[in-house]
Amino acid sequence: MENLITENNGLLSKLPQNKNLKAWPWDLEVDPKIYSIKKNWPKISIITPSYNQGVYLEQTIRSILLQNYPNLEYIVIDGGSTDNSKEIIEKYSQFINYWVSEKDNGQANAINKGLHLVSGDLFNWINSDDFLEHGALFELGVCFKDTDQIIAGSVNNFKEDEDSKNVDDSYYGLIKNTGLNIDNYFAQNGSFNFHQPGVWLGTALIQNQTIDEDLHFGFDAKFILTILENYPMVNYTAGTLVNFRLHELSKTLKDQDKFGEEIYKIYQYYIEHGSLKISRLAKTGLDRMRWMAHINTIASSLYPKQQKLGLILKGIWEKPTKRLNRFSLGCIKNILIS
């Protein structure tokens, strides 16, 4: 990649222009002058796995390049898209360290291809339907201390289509990766304190690590949990780092049942292969996930209101310490007011 960034000039004037699109990252860039506060910025490596998401890909690429970060390694692994993705990548190719467009075995395989090429100090992958927040790499560079650390920041979940239906409201808004550790992950059933785009890994932690290609939805969780199990220290930043798009074709929304199935597999893996502590936490977390699925089934059934309440209260009575929680109380409240 040709280094065209100077203290006085960023990439905005050098990238392809689209005068019809406004705001970040179309007609705005991070001011290169902000990087003058220090000389040695850590090398940040980013992989973008992509397949047939040309409608979003250009925004993703621009949001990374227009950080004007002085020590960036950017890798794009496209799975042989049949839309306009390859043309978009070629348009920005001189600003990308490495790219390829060829058939692969899915998102996890694409990220593994990129992992073999990563040479930076800090790493993450940014999917081709998401985009970095303005100033995200500056924030990460300031927070960086060493290659054996994790930096966790917030992720903004947003709906692509305001008219979309049947979208779980719990996905909206800011997800803060505070309290990120393996204990909290299992205690919260993987639903809180963890959102991959906001978890950046020192490259010393990912040596000899690969993404589990047998998983298609929960591979990010297993990958980061494997690291958290051995390297529990996390450096938190209050900044929002990434914008995570929810749209009708995104896996997060389209295949929630399959995602849940893979989370079950991950829990079972740690029950069988984790340390005594992790195995115990995974068993507790799995019990909670099963309970949540059970009362969701009850709540959505055609049973009369009193029968629904009776079944849920009976289950809580059997294991109150494990089942009397905010989720259960929320379900009861929703049934009462329905």
What's the CA gap between 100 and 120, in Å, rounded?
19
Q: Which residues, in sequence order, are bridge partners of residue 243? A: 131, 156
Q: 16: which 2 tokens?
A: 């392809």
- pLDDT for position 165: 47
- pLDDT for position 231: 82
pLDDT tens digits, one per residue of 271-291? 998 888 888 888 888 888 889
CB 111, CB 50: distance < 8 Å: no
- pLDDT for position 232: 74
Give me the residues of the chain with pLDDT under 50, please. Answer: 164-166
Angle formed at CA 270 by CA 226 and CA 216, multiple of 5 degrees: 70
Encoded amino acid at 141, one letter: G
Encoded amino acid at 236, one letter: Y
Q: 215: which 2 tokens?
A: 């998983």
The dihedral region occupied by 13, where left means phi > 0, alpha psi between -120 and 50, and beta the remainder, is alpha
Classified as helix, coil or strand, 336 is helix
Question: CB-based contacts of 33: which residues, under 8 Å, 6+ apart?
Answer: 7, 8
Q: Which long-range contacts (CB under 8 A, 24 or more apart) does 308-316 make?
A: 308/335, 309/335, 309/336, 315/291
For the chain, give the longest Cα–Cα distance: 69
Q: Cα dist. 306→118, 189, 310, 336 in Å? A: 57, 28, 6, 9
- pLDDT for position 189: 54
What's the CA gap between 283 and 130, in Å, rounded?
33
Classified as helix, coil or strand, 52 is coil
